[in-house]
Structure 1
Amino acid sequence: MPELSISSEKVCFLIVKAREFDVQDVDTELEDGANATDDGMIDVLEDSSDNPVEEEIRVFIAEMDEDEKADLIGLLRLGRGDGTMEEWAAMRAEDMREHAGNVAAYLLGEPMLGDYLEEGLSQFGMSCTEFEIGRL
Structure 2
Amino acid sequence: MSDPTTNPPALAIAIDMVCHLIVKAREFDAQDVETDPDSGSNAADDGGVSILEAHGDDPTRAELVAFIEALDDDEQVELVALLWLGRGDGELEDWEDLRRQAREARNERTSAYLLGQPLLADHLADGLSAFGLSCESFEKDYL
Give TM-score, length-normalised by structure 2.
0.87
C-alpha separation in 1, matches of 2:137 and 2:39: 41
Equivalent position of 2:3 in the other structure = none
Contact 2:43/2:51, CA 8 A, preserved across alignment: no
Equivalent position of 2:86 in the other structure = 79
State the one-letter code of the partner of 1:70.
Answer: V
Identity across matched positions, percent = 47
Determine if the alignment matches structure 1 residue 119 to structure 2 residue 123: no
Equivalent position of 1:12 in the other structure = 19
Equivalent position of 1:38 in the other structure = 45
1:119 shift after superposition: 0.7
3-state SS, counterpart of residue 86 of structure 1: helix
Contact 1:99/1:106, CA 8 A, preserved across alignment: no
Higher relative contact order (CA 8 A, sep 6+): 1
C-alpha separation in 1, matches of 2:105 and 2:68: 16
C-alpha separation in 2, matches of 1:99 and 1:60: 17
Gaps (5+ residues) in structure 2?
1-7
Equivalent position of 1:49 in the other structure = 56
Gaps (5+ residues) in structure 1?
none
Q: What is the RMSD of the two structures over their aligned residues, measured on CA atoms?
A: 1.5
Structure 1 stretches of 4+ with a deviation exceeding 6 A read none
3-state SS, counterpart of residue 137 of structure 2: coil
1:59 shift after superposition: 0.6
C-alpha separation in 1, matches of 2:98 and 2:106: 12
Q: For each residue in 1:5-44, what CA deviation from the matched residue of structure 2 results, as whole angstroms up to 9, or x when unmatched?
A: 0011111111100100000001101423222233222121
Equivalent position of 2:28 in the other structure = 21
Equivalent position of 1:58 in the other structure = 65
C-alpha separation in 2, matches of 1:114 and 1:127: 12
Aligned length: 134
Determine if the alignment matches structure 1 residue 104 to structure 2 residue 111: yes
